[in-house]
Structure 1
């Protein structure tokens, strides 16, 4: 088994010419920076979630089998170089782009021309907001740029968009029954090496989606988060996010802050609570 990629939160090994092994770790990242502190049980939660969604969603995927509490075997795919983000609410980086007047979208132009849109506003329809796929920093990308760059064909772009919107609705339906709002989510896709069939890839969990408690939702406010937004909010409050932006593009890296114990514990508890509520299963820590 050969390590071929050490990611921000998972390690990828080549098991054979046709298969890979995903090893989910307790590492946590924000703003493309890996923290020095880890989140207990995070790797197992992410692995549990990945297995749950691959088995639950009615969409062909690359999952083969589970190997251990934190490892799965998947088909090796020709990955599509786009991250397919679907948004239902004005939040996170989308809200920052709105405030900075740096939106470059294929849709909802009239909506975003309104003044004083509030944080966490529900969008009038689902927004397909793809990004580049980078190990360093993903950037929003429009349909025209995707096609001009020959990243995918016109037909493939439409298939990715429609598949992502369909999957959002499927995930949202399941999450809604657990009392959550699905604010946004990221999907990745790849082509099967022999058949060229489009498959859902990577994984789905708190590192890929943003969910809020329905009963706690407050328009215009920072929402209580059940994903790593907790970490992002804390890093923003401490000024670390601003430092990351200042250092971006240089060879220097900002000093990574140590995470307080209460934050580490809260993130771990939120991940586990989200898993148990969404799946209806008890999380086994062993």
Structure 2
């Protein structure tokens, strides 16, 4: 998730079975996202048939209370509880941020598993507050205890957890395409490097080539032939070039799609924070 741009408590891997994370004060709300109706949802909602597909994904919240078996809470109950964690009051803005982040995380993982012909059915995660910064962070371990997976979308094909553990190395495929920047002379290098930097932001491999269609037509055509069949789009600004390449490749590369989705989420969260500050400054 961190690699895709989602803010998490993860710092670095320590060993095969441990990692280092920022200390967080956990928010006692469990967030559940569902694509398909099954399991406990059917027991709580009699009459709904198993297999009902939620579009957009169904989002549910449960209060962490073992003695009362983690009761389901509505959005209004979460607001009314006025929970305070890490010095932060969990109000509508904070709930909206966690809700939208939860759905984004689900969609990123859903695309990842779809690349292996496996359907992500539902998932649960939790968040925490970094007491130093007051920032909301995804602060959970997402593994086979957190989700339900159906190979080929078929419930009957569910397998034990070890199968999915062995598949984890395939969830980050190597890009199978690239963006290519052709510049007329080396004097265009600074501008082209900006395009490459923008591409790198989305995980898009980018190559820079120097060739002049005016002075060396044959050589330029030769270079173009090397990339024949990859498709082509023309844009004027460096950031736009990177985004255009990313959006094109994202149609078939879930890793790049995930980075675009996370960037959109972070932009939205930034607007929420700015709006909250503007309201408080009045």
Q: Are 2:24 and 1:77 equivalent residues in the alignment?
A: yes
Q: For 1:56 and 1:211, locate their aligned partners in 2 and report how far apart those are by CA, in whole Å.
A: 22
Match of 2:144 among 200, 206, 220: 206
1:57-96 aligned within 5 A? 57-96=4-43
Q: For 1:225 and 1:134, locate their aligned partners in 2 and report how far apart those are by CA, in whole Å.
A: 30
Per residue, is there more helix in 1 or in 2?
Answer: 2
What's the counterpart of residue 126 of structure 1?
Answer: 57
Q: For 1:94 and 1:274, locate their aligned partners in 2 and report how far apart those are by CA, in whole Å.
A: 28
Is the Cα contact below 8 Å between 2:42 and 2:48 reproduced in 1? Answer: no
Structure with the bigger RCO (C-alpha within 8 Å, sep 6+) is: 1
1:83 is paired with a residue of what secondary structure? strand
Q: Are 2:79 and 1:147 equivalent residues in the alignment?
A: yes
Structure 1 gaps of 5+ residues are: 1-53, 100-115, 227-266, 282-286
CA change 1:117–1:172 in 2 (3 A) is same
Give, in angstroms, the shift of residue 193 of structure 1: 1.4
Give, in angstroms, the shift of residue 276 of structure 1: 4.5
1:83-232 aligned within 5 A? 83-99=30-46, 116-135=47-66, 137-151=69-83, 152-214=90-152, 217=154, 222-226=155-159
Is the Cα contact below 8 Å between 2:8 and 2:137 reproduced in 1? Answer: yes
TM-score normalised to the size of structure 2? 0.54
CA change 1:274–1:139 in 2 (3 A) is farther
Q: For 1:124 and 1:134, locate their aligned partners in 2 and report how far apart those are by CA, in whole Å.
A: 29
| Equivalent residue pairs, number | 167
CA change 1:86–1:173 in 2 (3 A) is same
Q: For 1:117 and 1:61, locate their aligned partners in 2 and report how far apart those are by CA, in whole Å.
A: 35
Q: For 2:34 and 2:75, locate their aligned partners in 1 and report how far apart those are by CA, in whole Å.
A: 16
TM-score normalised to the size of structure 1? 0.53
Q: For 1:187 and 1:162, locate their aligned partners in 2 and report how far apart those are by CA, in whole Å.
A: 12
CA change 1:268–1:156 in 2 (3 A) is closer
What's the counterpart of residue 270 of structure 1?
Answer: 163
RMSD: 2.2
Q: For 1:133 and 1:83, locate their aligned partners in 2 and report how far apart those are by CA, in whole Å.
A: 7
Q: For 2:156 and 2:82, locate their aligned partners in 1 and report how far apart those are by CA, in whole Å.
A: 38
Structure 2 gaps of 5+ residues are: 84-89, 175-282
1:198 is paired with a residue of what secondary structure? strand
1:80 is paired with a residue of what secondary structure? strand
Q: For 1:268 and 1:80, locate their aligned partners in 2 and report how far apart those are by CA, in whole Å.
A: 27
Q: For 1:204 and 1:145, locate their aligned partners in 2 and report how far apart those are by CA, in whole Å.
A: 26
1:147 is paired with a residue of what secondary structure? helix
Q: Deviations over 1:120-176 (max 9, x none)?
A: 221232111011123563221111111111132111111111111112111111111
